[in-house]
C-alpha cells in the first residue's frame, strides 16, 4: 500500500512514473475533487535526455531507437521538487499521478487547497476534471469452466465464433504463417477486466507469463479484475486461445491491462487516466495501445466537447494519443458508435493524428449502422480503417462466447492483426505499419469518411511489402469451402454450423449420423444470410458423430464429439 511508503520516496517514485498508484480517492476526507495542475517548466530537473534509462525501461528506449525517435525534454518526468511543493501545501493534497508529456500533476483536494496550489509560482494553470466520486462495482462472480476442447480441428472449428472476424482481416492466414503476436506488447485501456484471470480461454496468458503489467487509474492500485466487463470482452478478442472454442487475433501477444474508464460517471478525469496509462505504456515499452473508449459529452457541470473540438489538438485524450504516436507506439482506437445518433461524428481520441481510428463493419464488409462518421473537424479522413464490429464474437466475464456490436470490438480485433503484422515486419516504424495497412486496404484508392481506407488484410499488406516472397492463400481458400461446427467437443449447450460459401443463402438438409452410420437427427433449416446457423437438437449420447449438410447437389460433412 502507498501509505507504507515515506512521503519523499513516494514523490520520487511518482515523478519517475514507477509502480506506485495513489490509494483510492474514497480514503480522502470530504469532497476532494481531482484537478490537473499544469506546471510552468521543468527547470532544475535531475533528469536528462542523455540518460533515459533513469525514467524509461530498456524496452521503451529500444522502441525509440529502432524507429529513430530521440528522447526529448517532453519525455522528462515532472520535477520532483515541484511535486514536493504541491504535496507540502496546507490541507494535505493527495498526489494521484504525474504527467511527463503535459508537465502536470493530478491532485485530489478541495477548493480551498486548490487555491493555495494555484498560488504557487511553479503553477501555470489548473483544470478540474471531476465533480464526484462513486465506489467501484463489486467484484465479478466466480467463473464457470468451459468444456475441454479438441485442439486438432479444422481451421473454422478452431476459431469457433471468432473465425469470420479473423478471416476478414487475414488474421487466420497470419496465424498459419506463424505470426500470432509473439513478442509484441499490447496495452488495453478500458473500464475493467473481471474474469480475465479465470477464464479458461485466457489462461495461456498467465501460464506463459504474458501479462506484463496491470494498472487501475480509477480506484488506485493494481487490481484490474473488477468493475465493468467491457474490457474483458475487448481483450478476449485479441488474447483468447482455446482451439475449438475461440481464438483471438493475437493469441500469443504480451498484455498490459489498464482501467482508465469509470462507467458510473463521465468527466474529463477519465481522459487524464487515459493519459497516465499511455505514459505508463510508453515507459514499459508497449508497442500497441488498444483503446475502445471515446469522449464527447460529459456530465454537468463538466464542459462537453463539440464537433469543432474533434480537431486533433483539443481533447486531453486526443493530445495524449498524439504524444503516444510520437514516441513510437501504435495507437488503435475505436471510432465511436454515434453514427445513428445526433452527435454523428467520431469521438476523442479517435480524432488524433497518426493513429488508427477503427470503424465497424458486418461480416460481409458493409458499414455498421452505428459506426461514427468522419472527417475530423479540421478535414482529415476519419476513421482510418475498419474491422468487424457488428455481431462480433467476444467472451464474457464467465468465459461464455457471445455476439456483440460496437466499434469497441472492431478495435481490438484489428489491434491484434496489427500486432501480428508488425511482428512479421519488425523493421517498420509504427507510422510505416499504418501506411502499409492503409495503402492496401479495400478503399485505398477511394477513401471516405465512413470506413476510411477500408478493411485491411494481412496477406494483401504483407505481399505488397514482399512481392518476391508472397504468402500463399490456398489454405484459406480450402478452409472457406469446409463445413465447420462448434463447440467441438460439444457439451450441454447448442451447436452452431459454420457454412462454406457453397451452402450459404440456401435451404439446408441436415443429418446427424452416429458412429454406426445411423441417422439420429434429420431436419430442414431455412436459408439464412451469413456464415453461421444454429443447429437445434436434443442432447446426444456421448460419442463421435458426423454432421452432413446438403443444399441441392452440394454436400459437406464434419465430425464432432459429444461429451
Active site residues: 190, 230, 408
* Secondary structure string (H, E, C) spanning 64-119: HHHHCCCCCHHHCCCCHHHHHHHHCCCCCCEEEEEECCCCEEEEEECHHHHHHHHC
Contact 388, 360 (CB under 8 A): yes
How far is residue 198 CA from its own chain's centroid? 19
CA pair distance 540, 562, nearest whole angstrom: 7
Output the DSSP codes for 226-273: SB-THHHHHHHHHH-EETTTEE-SSTT-EEEEEE---TT---THHHHH
Strand order in the sheet with 356-361: 211-216, 254-259, 185-190, 288-291, 330-334, 356-361, 385-388
CA pair distance 195, 201, nearest whole angstrom: 11
What are 509's three cell numbers?
438438409
CA pair distance 16, 11, nearest whole angstrom: 9
Radius of gyration of the chain (CA): 25
Q: CA separation (Å) from 183 to 201, 283, 285, 413?
A: 20, 17, 11, 18
CA pair distance 285, 429, nearest whole angstrom: 14
Alpha helices in 329-447 (DSSP H): 407-424, 430-440
Contact 214, 224 (CB under 8 A): yes
Contact 64, 328 (CB under 8 A): yes
Q: Which of 1, 269, 300, 301 is nearest to 133 (CA)?
A: 269
DSSP letter (8 states) at residue 478: H
Strands 33-39 and 123-128: antiparallel
Which residue's C-alpha cell is 480509477? Answer: 218
Dihedral of alpha carbons 546, 547, 551, 552, sign? positive
* Cβ atoms within 10 Å of 204's Cβ, excluding its own: 15
CA pair distance 236, 256, nearest whole angstrom: 13
Strands 288-291 and 185-190: parallel
DSSP letter (8 states) at residue 295: B
Strands 33-39 and 104-109: antiparallel
* Residues 533-563 as b or e (16 or more Cβ within 10 Å = b): bebeeeebeeeebebbbbbeeeebebbbbbe
Please list the residues that pair with 532 across neighbouring strands. Answer: 498
Q: Helix or strand or coil: residue 531?
A: coil
Amino acid at each position: 500500500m502507498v501509505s507504507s511508503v515515506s512521503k519523499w520516496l513516494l514523490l520520487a517514485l511518482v515523478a519517475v512514473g514507477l509502480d506506485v498508484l495513489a490509494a483510492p480517492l474514497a480514503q480522502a476526507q470530504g469532497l476532494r475533487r481531482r484537478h490537473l495542475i499544469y506546471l510552468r517548466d521543468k527547470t532544475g530537473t535531475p533528469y536528462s535526455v542523455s540518460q533515459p534509462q533513469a525514467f524509461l525501461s530498456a524496452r521503451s528506449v529500444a522502441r525509440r531507437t529502432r524507429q529513430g525517435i530521440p528522447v526529448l525534454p517532453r519525455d522528462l518526468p515532472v520535477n520532483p521538487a515541484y511535486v514536493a511543493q504541491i504535496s507540502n501545501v496546507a490541507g494535505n493534497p493527495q498526489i494521484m499521478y504525474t504527467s511527463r508529456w503535459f508537465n502536470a500533476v493530478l491532485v485530489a483536494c478541495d477548493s480551498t487547497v486548490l487555491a493555495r496550489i494555484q498560488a504557487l509560482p511553479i503553477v501555470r494553470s489548473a483544470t478540474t476534471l471531476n465533480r464526484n466520486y462513486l465506489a467501484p462495482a463489486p467484484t465479478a462472480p466466480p467463473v464457470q469452466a468451459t468444456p475441454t476442447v479438441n485442439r486438432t480441428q479444422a481451421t473454422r472449428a478452431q476459431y469457433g465464433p471468432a473465425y469470420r472476424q479473423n478471416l476478414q482481416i487475414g488474421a487466420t492466414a497470419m496465424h498459419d504463417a506463424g505470426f500470432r503476436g509473439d513478442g509484441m506488447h499490447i496495452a488495453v485501456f478500458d473500464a475493467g477486466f473481471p474474469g480475465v484471470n479465470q477464464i479458461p480461454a485466457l489462461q495461456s496468458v498467465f501460464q506463459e507469463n504474458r501479462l506484463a503489467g496491470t494498472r487501475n487509474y480509477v480506484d488506485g492500485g493494481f487490481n484490474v479484475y473488477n468493475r465493468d466487463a467491457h474490457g474483458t470482452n475487448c481483450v478476449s478478442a485479441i488474447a483468447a486461445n482455446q482451439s475449438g472454442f475461440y481464438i483471438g487475433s493475437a493469441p500469443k501477444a504480451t498484455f498490459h491491462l489498464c482501467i482508465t474508464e469509470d462507467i458510473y460517471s463521465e468527466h474529463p478525469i477519465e481522459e487524464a487516466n487515459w493519459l497516465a496509462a499511455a505514459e505508463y505504456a510508453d515507459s514499459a515499452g508497449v508497442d500497441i495501445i488498444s483503446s475502445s473508449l471515446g469522449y464527447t459529452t460529459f456530465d454537468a457541470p463538466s464542459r462537453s466537447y463539440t464537433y469543432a473540438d474533434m480537431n486533433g489538438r483539443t481533447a486531453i485524450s486526443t493530445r495524449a494519443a498524439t504524444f503516444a504516436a510520437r514516441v513510437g507506439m501504435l495507437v488503435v482506437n475505436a471510432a465511436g458508435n454515434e453514427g445513428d445518433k445526433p452527435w454523428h461524428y467520431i469521438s476523442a481520441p479517435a480524432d488524433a493524428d497518426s493513429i488508427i481510428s477503427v470503424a465497424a463493419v458486418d461480416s460481409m464488409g458493409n458499414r455498421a449502422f452505428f459506426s461514427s462518421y468522419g472527417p475530423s473537424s479540421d478535414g482529415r479522413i476519419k476513421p482510418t480503417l475498419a474491422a468487424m464490429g457488428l455481431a462480433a464474437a467476444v467472451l464474457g466475464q464467465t468465459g461464455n462466447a457471445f455476439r456483440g456490436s460496437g466499434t469497441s470490438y472492431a478495435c481490438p480485433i484489428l489491434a491484434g492483426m496489427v500486432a501480428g503484422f508488425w511482428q512479421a515486419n519488425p523493421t517498420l516504424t509504427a507510422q510505416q505499419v499504418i501506411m502499409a495497412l492503409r495503402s492496401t486496404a479495400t478503399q485505398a484508392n477511394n477513401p471516405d469518411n465512413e470506413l476510411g481506407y477500408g478493411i485491411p488484410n494481412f496477406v494483401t499488406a504483407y505481399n505488397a511489402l514482399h512481392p518476391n516472397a508472397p504468402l500463399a492463400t490456398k489454405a484459406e481458400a480450402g478452409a472457406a469451402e469446409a463445413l465447420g461446427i462448434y463447440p467441438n467437443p460439444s457439451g450441454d449447450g447448442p451447436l452452431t454450423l459454420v457454412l462454406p460459401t457453397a451452402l450459404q443463402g440456401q435451404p439446408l438438409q441436415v443429418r446427424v449420423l452416429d458412429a454406426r452410420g445411423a441417422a439420429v437427427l434429420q431436419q430442414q433449416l431455412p436459408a439464412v444470410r451469413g456464415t453461421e446457423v444454429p443447429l437445434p437438437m436434443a442432447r446426444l449420447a456421448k460419442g463421435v458423430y458426423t454432421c452432413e449438410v446438403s443444399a441441392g447437389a452440394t454436400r459437406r460433412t464434419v465430425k464432432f464429439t459429444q461429451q
